[in-house]
Structure 1
Amino acid sequence: MNNCILMVEISSAPQLRHTPDNMEVAEMMVMFPGLRADDPPATLRVVGWGKTASEMHANYQVGDRVIIEGRLGMRTVERPEGFKEKRADLTVQRIYRVNGEFNLGNMATPAPAIPSYEPSIPVSTYQQPDPTPVSTYQSAAPTYSQDYDSDDIPF
């Protein structure tokens, strides 16, 4: 199974193009925070195909925060310096807009505080129900009446 879910911020607008057989392909770059607070944000190329590609191009832009579900893959890129470099790509299966704020660590402002929870039943009037009696357990394993000596065992 190859399934990856990322919460990211779009860092470059989705670019729509078509394959020779007229299949739509959209590519964009996204970023997410590094592992440590002092690490720079990581970037990842995201690719959508078909209907997903047209949706990405029409509905998403730079700065949007989204949750992307897809398949992670690796590609080899020939560098101008003369060596090959491996890069990760995420092929989008589903994309969801995040309505509201979420904290991307060193990339964004802190998320708003979580609202306080008010229980529907006041704590002072709540009474825990009486425990129910526990039934006794009877084993269904067979019992053996014959005792065996260690000499009777064939190993």
Structure 2
Amino acid sequence: MEVSSMQFNSLIVYRKHNLKENWQEGLFDLEEIELNQEVYKNGPVFFSCTDDEHDASIGLFTYYLPINEPVVVREDAEFQYEERIQIDQALTFRQADREANFKAAYEKVKKYAEKENISLSETYYCVMLDVFGEIIIDLYVPLAERSDVS
């Protein structure tokens, strides 16, 4: 584990409440948006998840697609355009896909943070990297007192 930052510019953002076990559904929706908007992906797809306060099996997923240039989005569109996302300091778990699931990886990060007396945000980000045709997932959990996400 290490402390690192994360920044992406020009993003299509799509939000969806869903069962955590169905996290991939939003990726398919994002792929369809990409095709319909005629934009070009220029970075790894990633998503954040925040636990539902009433049901631990559900999360609010926010999917991010870095694109080549800014776009204008209709007000009634099911997605938004964001100029930038920036996390100044996050505890980073490389290759989190080796864990049983995202919750297990997040719990591992939380245990490490407790041991090191580090306060974390309740939201975590999964960055999906395509490395020679294999998907590797890095988990970023912003530090709570410095969770400067903009």
| TM-score, normalization by structure 1 | 0.31
Question: Which structure carries more strand by proportion?
Answer: 2
Per chain length, whose mean CA-contact separation is higher, i.e. which structure has more relative contact order (CA < 8 Å, sep 6+)? Answer: 2
Higher radius of gyration, 1 or 2? 1
| TM-score, normalization by structure 2 | 0.32
Question: Which structure carries more helix by proportion?
Answer: 2
